[in-house]
Amino acid sequence: MMRPLIGVTVNDDIRNGMSGEFVGKDYTDGVYTAGGLPLVLPLTDDKETIVELAMHLDGLILTGGPDIDPQLFHEEPRLGLGEVTPLRDAMEAMLIVRMAALDKPILAICRGIQILNAVMGGTLYQDLLREWSGRLQHTQKAPRDHTAHHVTIVEGTRLHALMGAVEVPVNTFHHQAVSALAPGFIISGRSHDGLVEAIEHPGYHFMVGVQWHPENLWRKYEEHARLFTGVVDAARARA
């Protein structure tokens, strides 16, 4: 059986004075190990290119990266907002809309859950230190494959079925997060201080977002590998 084609979004990157695009190997290895064929997507806001990409892709992974421009959720920038990347925001917003219209699977990771929620009609905390009252550390000072806190998973959700547990340890590298939930979505996981850590939309074939970084955990923890297996299996079934 052919491997389903899974698009993986990228960051703008400048190294040794040269401009380029970058995505962590843990993402693409995770897709391939799960049975998919990863396609690192070009960074573009050309509408025709994005429409064509969405037609060819069987699934999409929205990766981590810089902050989301608050214009996407109709707010002005506040103190604590970090670097934003308008080109990437524009590309991912168009991709989300097109993939949703085609009901193709989306797995949204860290920044991914944030832009997914914003594009679909929700809002974000622009900076947790200024806008959130919780006490947990959400930007860990530890290696990326180290788990820092726990997430409680809502029973009966797609995420619960995938991970097979009601509580999972996660890593954490973010200062923005879901605030108001986009219409039609449900919360499928929270941290112990109540912050939204996972969302999903029951009306789509597979639309799941997580605030942590399973791409850095799947080699050590089977439950996190199941997120990659989940989007690949959903893409194969949808195709």
Q: What is the CATH number of the domain that holds 108?
A: 3.40.50.880
Using a pLDDT cut of 70, give the percent of the chain over it. 97
Range in 9-13, 43-47, 55-59, 74-78 with the lowest mean pLDDT:
9-13
Give the strand pairing for 11-15 and 18-22. antiparallel
How much is the pLDDT for 17? 62
This prediction's pTM: 0.96
Cα angle 128-131-136, degrees, rounded to a multiple of 5? 45
The pLDDT value recorded for residue 239 is 81
- Alpha-carbon gap, residue 233 to 239, rounded angstroms: 10
Domain count, the chain: 1
Residue 152 buriedness (CB in 10 A; 0-12 / 13-18 / 19+): middle
CA nearest to 91, candidates 46, 125, 54, 57: 46
User: What pLDDT, on a 0 to 100 scale, did the predictor assign at position 20?
Assistant: 75
The tokens describing 73, both together, are: 């959720």
**Which range marks the domain in which residue 90 is found?**
5-238
pLDDT band at residue 15 under the 50/70/90 scheme: low
Q: Are strands 18-22 and 37-40 parallel, antiparallel or unpaired?
A: unpaired
* Residue-wise pLDDT tens digits, 186-198: 999 999 999 999 9
**Mean pLDDT (the chain, rounded):** 96
Q: Does pLDDT of 117 surpass 90?
A: yes
Q: Write out the catalytic residue numbers.
A: 110, 213, 215
